[in-house]
Structures are given as structure tokens and as C-alpha cells.
Amino acid sequence: MIQNPILKGFNPDPSFCRVGDDYYIATSTFQWYPGVQIHHSRDLANWQLVSRPLNRATQLDMRGNPDDCGIWAPCLSYADGKFWLVYTDVKRHAGDFKDAHNYIVTSETIDGEWSDPTYVNSSGFDPSLFHDEDGRKYFMNMRWNHRGIGSGCNSTHDAFDGILLQEWSPTEGLIGPCKNIYAGTDRGLTEAPHMFKRAGYYYLTTAEGGTEYDHAVSLARSTDLWGPYEDHPEKHVMSARDTPEHPLQRVGHGQYVEAADGTAWHTFLMGRPITGIGTRNCPMGRETGIAQCVWKDDWLYLKDGGLLPPSRLPGAQPQPRTDEVHEHFSELPSSFQWLRTPYPERLFRIDDGALVLIGREGLGSWFEQSLVARRQEDFNYNAATRLEFSPTTYQQAAGLTTYYDRHRFHAALITVENGVRVATLMSCNSQWPEGQLSYPLEKPVVLPDGPIHFSVEVRAASQQFFWATPGETPQSLGPSLDASIISDEGGQGLEHSSFTGAFVGLVAFDVTASACEAKFTQFTYAAVE
């Protein structure tokens, strides 16, 4: 059985592409570097990360991008003997403007070197490229109306101002007229256009209702590329809005692919909320699911009817997962990413089997932050690390963190208090605008010389840090902490977000500008049933 989600942990906005017997899914990475994750499968059940294509400064530099900006909603396609990747680098989240710059890169192989970007436009986000049968190409994106959300213009405009379509040429760029081809259904917040052609119709898939619990996959069609487009008889192909008890929530934003045998498949983003805590917080963020569909009267429907995609569906057997264990670092683990910068050599290096983090800016930085981490994929997990670190001031610290963004994190750190090396806890409780740091440990733990083990046990909405010296039994470090804030719904105030997901990983900072180094010689992550 195929089990949803097929891509666990923060993997939103899945663009779906088939080349022969090979399937590819590209997902958003927001402020995490390198940009875009591309997974590959041949059976739709087992997926392997094969590329993060935006991996150098000429393609992507997100230093200064606020949380939840960066890479939004890529579109992956294959035509003319190469792969095409369309993406947005969003430079602003809060406020009237988004400053969403759209680019295209190409590569002859999915795991090869991708080209430098070609700039297209900045009129809105969620860009998409459609290759028509005659070889002409068309660029789409939702149009962002900055007059629609601010108080200064006293406007009643909808910020989500329809889907724009314009012909695009690899040599000339955008050419010909630009037309708003689709305003969406009454669900509103119409975005994420993807076009495909079948049986004489142009089909336009969009996402509607916002990316939280009203989300939906919507579908419209036309015999003319330029419209008008008629809505699906049910308006939507998938949504979980009216079934809050379903284990897959926030269903929407995906893309259609027809398999070689003619079966119809559609990806979607989804969230798995923690149950039993009174709120629906999704620590894994927005993940990727897949559903089988059927055609009736030239309209697409879920195979089993209704709007709810299944948690399990017939297909290949997923391979059993294994724990992630690193006792020796020869390179940065493929599961790890860092934040914003295309110059990782200033943040970390591999040295004699260790991952060395170079202390830079604080945990709230938008520019140069020494934090490398992997996605939380499970409600319950254990993670651990071993580090060597010799700070000289409280302005230097390193350790293990559970992290969402600059407003939401917990960290077990080695630092200095009153001239003594200690272990302490640092938390940020999601308060806006600047986030309020707290130190949940009443009294720091004085540490002996030498390496220290930090570990964390996360159990749904709670987590507990531990510390130990090598060979000794771990001891709890401070109280149990609220893990539910390390989630999409954990934010408060104007910067409440729902775009990325929880990570767990390694951090070091040094605000004295001495670049104090922390040496990590072990990292493990293990799901707990």
C-alpha cells in the first residue's frame, strides 16, 4: 500500500512530473538552502531525494529574506530534451507587497548542474510553465494585488487577483498579450496554477482557500488556452475542510500526471495535526501526498469518490525506514539544510570526521546563522548529538535545537555563566514582534571538561532535553517544554505563519565576532512508535 504522506516532513507545494517510467516531485524550501527539493520514484510509493538544484549564489541568495520567504511553489517540467524548473524568490512576507521574483532554470539531467536563472517577472507568485503541443511555451502565475490587504488605500480589492497567462520564449522572454484567464471559485485565494491538455481540453489546476484548513485542489477547463474556463461540477477535486476528523488535513496545491498505463494521479500538500491538545498544530508542516483519480465526462475525480484523499491506497509496498545515524562525518548529511546563504563555508566545514560549526549571528538572524538541521518527520522521535565546545563568554553558545523559525525554537546549549562552562536551555515562545527569549532552566548545569552529549525526546506536543558525559546515563536538562509551538500553527501575532515545518539539528552562535567553533562528532534521529 502507498502510504500518505509519501514525502514526510516539510515538503509543500508538490509539482509532479513524469519522464518515461520516472516520476519526479519538486517541493518548496522557503528560507532553507539549497533551494527546491526534487525527489524521484518509479513506483509512486518510495521516493529518494535526488537534487537540490538551486545551490549557488548566481541562482539564489536569500540573505535578509524574512522567515517564510524565499522559494515558494516551484514548477518542474520536461520538454525539448531537458528539465525546466520555475521558481519564486519571495523577498517580503508581511505587509502589502510580496516582491516575488520569478525565474527559470534548466538542466539536461535531474541531478546535474542547473543553469543560471532567467528572470521572468515579479507580478505574483506560484509560477508555472506550460509546454503546448505545438512547441510554444506559456508562463502563468497568480497576480498579487498589493492594494487588497493594506489599510492605507481603503481598498476592497482581493489580493489574490486571478491567474495570468502569457507566452514565453527562451530567447525573447515574455511576448504577446498578458491575460487574466481565471478568477477562481467562491472558495477564493486562487493560486498555484498548473496547466495540462487532454482530450481537446486545456485543464487548469489551482489551489484555493489558503494553505490552512480551508485549502482545496480546484479544477477548470476550456477548449481554448485563453479561456473562458468553466469550473469543475464539484468546483474542487480534493479538500478536507468539512471533515476535521480526517487524518489528512489542509489538502490542496498539487499537480496532475498520467502514468504510462493511463492511470491518473494527482499530488497534493497536506498536514497532520497533533490530536488531543485542543488545537490542530502540525509540527511536520505541509507534507506531500498522492491520490489516484479517474476521468468521468472529461472531468477528474478521486477514484473512490468524494473530496477526501485516502491515507492508504493500493500500490507498491513502501520500504521500511531506517534510523539516521552519523558517527563520522565525511560530508554534510543529505537530510540536512541550512538557512539563506549561498556561502556555507562561512557556517560549517567537515574536519577529520567532525561537522564543525563556526559561530556567527544569533538564532534570530536573517543573514548568517550557523544552524544545520533536518526535517521532523514523525510526531514522536529521539535525536542526539555529541559535541566539543569551549566558549569563553555567554555570548558564545552551541548545541542541539528544535527549530521552526526565529520566533519558535528550543535549544540545549553549552555556554559560559560567571566564568564557568555550563549547559543551559534557551527558548523562544513565538511572541511577536521580536520574540521573547526565555531560559527555562532555573540554574545552569556546571559541565566537566571534554565532550558533552545532548539529546531530545519529542512526544507530540511535549519535549524533553537531556545531557550526559560520554559513557554516563543521560540526565534531564530542565523541565518538559511545549513542542506544539514548533509547528505551523504555533505562531502568534502579525507574523503568524503556516509555511514551513519543524526541524531538529545543530547550532552555534558567537556574537563577539570571534567565530568560536563547535565540533560535532555524532548525530542521530530515530522515529519512535
pLDDT digits (tens, 9 = 90+) for 470-508: 999 999 999 999 999 999 988 764 445 568 999 999 999
- Residue 519's DSSP bridge partners are 356, 388
Question: What is residue 31's predicted lDDT score, i.e. its pLDDT?
Answer: 97
Question: What is residue 151's predicted lDDT score, i.e. its pLDDT?
Answer: 46
CA torsion angle for 107, 108, 112, 114 (degrees, to 10)?
A: -10
Question: What is residue 466's predicted lDDT score, i.e. its pLDDT?
Answer: 98
Q: Is 171 exposed, middle or buried (0-12, 13-18, 19+ CB in 10 A)?
A: exposed
Q: DSSP character for 357?
A: E
Buried b (16+ CB within 10 A) or exposed e, 362-397: bbbbbeebbbbbbbbbbbebbbbbbbbbebeebbbb
For residue 262, what are the contacts with CB-CB under 8 A and spacing of at least 6?
none
Does residue 230 have an active-site annotation? no
For residue 3, what are the CA distances in angstroms to 254, 310, 311, 367?
17, 9, 6, 38
Q: 3-class secondary structure for 397-435?
A: EEEEEEEEECCEEEEEEEEEECCEEEEEEEEEECCCCCC
CA pair distance 199, 54, nearest whole angstrom? 36
Question: What is residue 494's predicted lDDT score, i.e. its pLDDT?
Answer: 40
* Spans in the chain with pLDDT lower than 50: 151, 153, 493-495
Domains of the chain, each with CATH number or no CATH: 2-313 (2.115.10.20), 324-527 (2.60.120.200)
Catalytic residue among 368, 388, 489, 495: 368
CA pair distance 113, 134, nearest whole angstrom? 28
Question: What is residue 333's predicted lDDT score, i.e. its pLDDT?
Answer: 97
Question: What is residue 493's predicted lDDT score, i.e. its pLDDT?
Answer: 47
